[in-house]
Amino acid sequence: MKIKFTLNQEVIEHEVAPNKTLVNMLREDFDLTGAKEGCGGGECGSCTILFNGKPVTSCLMLGVQADGQEITTIEGLSQGNELDELQKTFISTGALQCGYCTPGMILTAKGLLSENPDPTREEIKTALSGNLCRCTGYKRIIEAVEQAAKHYR
């Protein structure tokens, strides 16, 4: 199936089998391995990418659903070597440990802040509840999002 979509701000034409998931298409066909398959059931959020700016679990989507849409992966968040503010605050607050949930977590936060630039703590917690982390206990992740929100404002 031929599809045409925007991937990290670049227009791409691509051929993909209909039964390939979006996460596998990104990982295998484009070597964008930042999105991870942690559970294959849309529960852990480590496959999260931005789909027209909104966080989605790419393990439960088909590659063909990207046709005509805008996809942003973690690799597309930094401009060259310049890190996005969220990436900076994740490092400065210590909001990551093993790093496996981190790309998905950052993209969900990015999606939240683009819709809600001044979220409350509760709103941040709810937005991130679809991203499981076993290492950090979430506290610094929430702080990182709050700090990035301040900066964006």
Place of tokens 């991937």: 7
| Cβ 70 to other proteins shortest distance, Å | 13
Contact between 8 and other proteins (CB under 8 A)? no
Q: Which of residues 89-148 bind other proteins (CB under 8 A)?
A: 90-92, 94, 96-103, 106, 108, 111-112, 124-142
Contact between 5 and other proteins (CB under 8 A)? no
| Cβ 128 to other proteins shortest distance, Å | 4
| Cβ 4 to other proteins shortest distance, Å | 12
Choice between 14 and 54, CB closer to other proteins: 54
**43: number of Cβ within 10 Å:** 13
At 41, the amino acid letter reads: G
Binding-site member from 9, 41, 114, 118 for other proteins (CB under 8 A):
41
Gap between the Cα atoms of 151 and 153, Å rounded: 5
| Cβ 55 to other proteins shortest distance, Å | 5
| Cβ 64 to other proteins shortest distance, Å | 6
* DSSP-based three-state secondary structure for 116: coil
Binding-site member from 14, 54, 70, 146 for other proteins (CB under 8 A):
54
Binding-site member from 4, 9, 43, 118 for other proteins (CB under 8 A):
43
β-pair type (54-57, 48-51): antiparallel
Number of residues that bind other proteins (CB under 8 A): 79
DSSP state of 1: -
Gap between the Cα atoms of 18 and 66, Å rounded: 11
Please give the angle made by the CA atoms of 52, 54 and 55, to the nearest 5 degrees: 125
* DSSP-based three-state secondary structure for 84: coil
